[in-house]
């Protein structure tokens, strides 16, 4: 049985809801709900509104109206739209105690794709009876799959006010995408949509889709809040248009696989030193996607970057040949959170930031771990995480890691056939226990090709 959707514009009439910064809740919930109703109709999803004008619906009338539209069955999804207040920042989704978090989770993911941060999706119980929902719209619509969507805080000191005023259609579209996915209806973007979308087909991979749109796998995953490389047929992916160059600039060169400073300098009739000086480079290491100035007349254009939907500190840092820590230091950032429209410094020129030590890069492959990569290059896992601004051990295939130069006097040894810990320790005049401790080994087993740090 096809699911139907009841859309409830919160408040209305004599009940304006919250208001601040030129935003009146009842007005925006109606705009969002009407937009959503039109889009669901375009997708062939049957829907109805509890109100389509500025009328008052009290706490008794509203749930009754909702259930009078399509009935009390579990084939009905109720979406009650609201704007939050209280000085927070970000979207929230509350789902009924009788339901799972599947739909709420999908909406949260789509919000993130649209550039809105999500505080949480959750359930709330009535203090006087913990078996019942706290909110009457969930409590008084039995059997329906009922959720409350808070699109942001109208009194936020963050970017919610801008999101609500200028991007409310994108936020409503995010809920539409989630509903289409949840119901199992093929999603078609609205006519004239500024974003690009791709529907996953049989045989698709993240790498193949990213290559098709000339973006990296990390950029595609960040834009879609993906934590793995697994794709599901029919999933709608947002293709981050902000990452596509709007107009090619002949004074800017984007580093590609196989490029060297020599080949780029030669292409533009420059010396390597001229190219390095123009871009403030302290080493010969390049990163794929890094932008280089190749004309003095354009040297100032890369000093700042304006954050767009889907951006991450890692993606921006990698784009401009910085580490995440350098980017955070340049901008006095104490967290990894970014806001759309935020302007970041992306050049070391004129700052006192200490140049980073020369480093190599490594592209993560299937089966890699931070431990195996750190061991391969004779560095610690902590040093590898610090150089890349990582606070977890998660890696993505295709991710480019900065390998910090080992500045101590430690030697390394590559294990060969027939080697043993005793043999290697004897060769270098150390004990077996010392060798094991230096490499974090808990057994005497070795693998051919394994790189050991020699203390």
Tell me the C-alpha distance between 81 and 30, whole Å: 8
Among 403, 371, 373, 375, which residue's Cα sits nearest to residue 388?
A: 403
Tokens (6 digits) for 44: 């062939």
Q: Which two tokens stand for residue 407?
A: 């500045």
Q: Could you tell me which CATH number the domain at 4-183 has? A: 3.40.630.40
Question: Are 196-242 and 408-455 in the same CATH fold?
Answer: yes
Cα dihedral 173→175→180→181 (10° resolution): 120
For 84-200, where are the alpha helices, taking DSSP H only?
102-113, 136-139, 160-183
**Residues 6 or more apart in contact with residue 175 via CB below 8 angstroms:** 36, 79, 107, 110, 149
Tell me the pLDDT tens digit for each residue of 313-324.
777 776 676 777
Whole-angstrom distance, CA of residue 212 vs CA of residue 205: 11
Domain regions of the chain by residue span: 4-183, 196-242, 252-345, 357-406, 408-455
Six-digit token string for 232: 């599901």
Whole-angstrom distance between the N-terminal and C-terminal Cα of the chain? 68
Which phi and psi angles does 2 have, rounded to 5°?
-65, 135
Q: Which residues of the chain fall short of a pLDDT of 50? A: 194, 242-248, 297-302, 349-359, 407-409
Three-class secondary structure of residue 383 per DSSP: helix
252-345: CATH number: 3.10.350.10
Q: What are the structure tokens assigned to 209, written together?
A: 């889709």
Alpha helices by DSSP H, listed for 217-290, are 217-223, 261-267, 272-279
Among residues 317, 425, 451, the alpha carbon closest in space to that of 371 is found at 451
Q: Rounded distance, CA 326 to CA 142, Å?
A: 53
CATH entry, 196-242, from 3.10.350.10, 3.40.50.300, 3.60.70.12, 1.10.520.10: 3.10.350.10
Residues 6 or more apart in contact with residue 265 via CB below 8 angstroms = 271, 272, 274, 275
Q: What is the CATH number of domain 357-406?
A: 3.10.350.10
Q: Extract the tokens encoding 437.
A: 């401790």
The rounded distance, in Å, linking the Cα atoms of 31 and 36 is: 9
With H, G, I as helix, E, B as strand and everything else as coil, classify residue 261. helix
| Cβ atoms of 11 and 26 closer than 8 Å | yes
- Read off the tokens for 173: 């579209």
- Closest Cα partner for 16 from 29, 4, 5? 29
Model confidence pLDDT, tens digit, residues 54-78: 999 999 999 999 999 999 999 999 9
Residues in a beta bridge with 213: none
Q: Cβ distance 5 to 47 under 8 Å?
A: yes
* Maximum Cα–Cα distance across the chain: 86
Neighbouring C-beta atoms of residue 385, cutoff 10 Å: 16
CB 104 within 8 A of CB 132: no
The CATH architecture that domain 408-455 belongs to is Roll (3.10)
Cα separation, 36 vs 173, in Å, equals: 7
H-state helical runs in 43-142: 61-70, 102-113, 136-139
Query: Do the beta carbons of residue 239 and residue 198 sit within 8 Å?
Result: yes
Structure tokens at 43: 């997708």
What's the predicted TM-score (pTM) here? 0.51
Spatial separation of the C-alpha atoms in residues 358 and 370, rounded to whole Å? 20
Please report the pLDDT score of residue 224 as a whole number: 75
350 vs 382: CA distance, rounded Å: 30
CA distances for 275 relative to 267, 281, 282, 298, 299, angstroms: 11, 8, 11, 13, 11
């Amino acid at each position: 049985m096809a699911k139907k959707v009841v859309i409830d514009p919160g408040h209305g009439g004599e009940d304006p809801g919250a208001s601040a910064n030129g935003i009146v809740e009842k007005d925006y919930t109606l705009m969002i709900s009407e937009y959503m109703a039109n889009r669901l109709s375009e997708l062939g999803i049957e829907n109805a509104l509890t109100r389509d004008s500025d009328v008052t619906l009290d706490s008794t009338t509203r749930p009754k109206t909702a259930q009078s539209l399509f009935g009390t069955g579990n084939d009905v999804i109720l979406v009650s739209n609201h704007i939050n207040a209280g000085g927070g920042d970000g979207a929230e989704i509350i789902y009924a105690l009788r339901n799972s978090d599947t739909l709420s989770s999908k909406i949260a993911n789509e919000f993130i794709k649209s550039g809105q941060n999500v505080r949480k999706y959750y359930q709330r119980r009535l203090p006087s009876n913990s078996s019942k929902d706290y909110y009457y719209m969930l409590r008084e619509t039995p059997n329906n799959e009922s959720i409350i969507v808070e699109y942001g805080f109208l009194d936020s000191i963050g970017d919610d006010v801008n999101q609500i005023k200028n991007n409310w259609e994108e936020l409503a579209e995010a809920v539409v995408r989630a509903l289409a996915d949840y119901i199992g209806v093929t999603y078609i973007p609205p006519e004239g949509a500024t974003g690009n979308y791709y529907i996953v087909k049989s045989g698709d991979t993240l790498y193949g889709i990213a290559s098709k749109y000339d973006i990296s796998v990390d950029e595609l995953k960040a834009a879609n809040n993906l934590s793995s490389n697994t794709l599901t047929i029919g999933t709608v992916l947002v293709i981050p248009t902000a990452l596509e160059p709007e107009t090619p600039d002949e004074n800017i060169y984007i580093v590609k696989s196989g490029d060297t400073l020599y080949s780029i300098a030669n292409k533009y009739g420059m010396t390597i030193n001229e190219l390095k000086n123009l871009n403030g480079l302290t080493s010969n290491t390049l990163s794929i996607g890094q932008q280089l100035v190749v004309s003095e007349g354009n040297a100032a254009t890369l000093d700042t970057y304006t954050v767009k939907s889907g951006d991450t500190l890692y993606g921006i840092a990698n784009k401009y040949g910085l580490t995440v820590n350098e980017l955070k230091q340049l901008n006095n950032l104490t967290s990894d959170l970014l806001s759309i429209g935020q302007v970041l410094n992306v050049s070391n020129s004129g700052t006192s930031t200490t140049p980073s030590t020369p480093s190599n890069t490594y592209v993560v492959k299937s089966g890699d771990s931070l431990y195996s990569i750190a061991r391969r290059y004779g560095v610690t896992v902590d040093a590898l995480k610090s150089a890349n601004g990582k606070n977890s051990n998660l890696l993505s295939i295709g991710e480019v890691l900065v390998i910090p130069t080992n500045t101590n006097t430690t030697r390394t040894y590559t294990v060969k056939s027939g080697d043993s810990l005793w043999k290697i320790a004897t060769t270098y005049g150390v004990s077996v226990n010392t060798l094991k401790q230096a490499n974090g080994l808990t057994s005497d087993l070795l693998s051919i090709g394994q790189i050991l740090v020699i203390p």
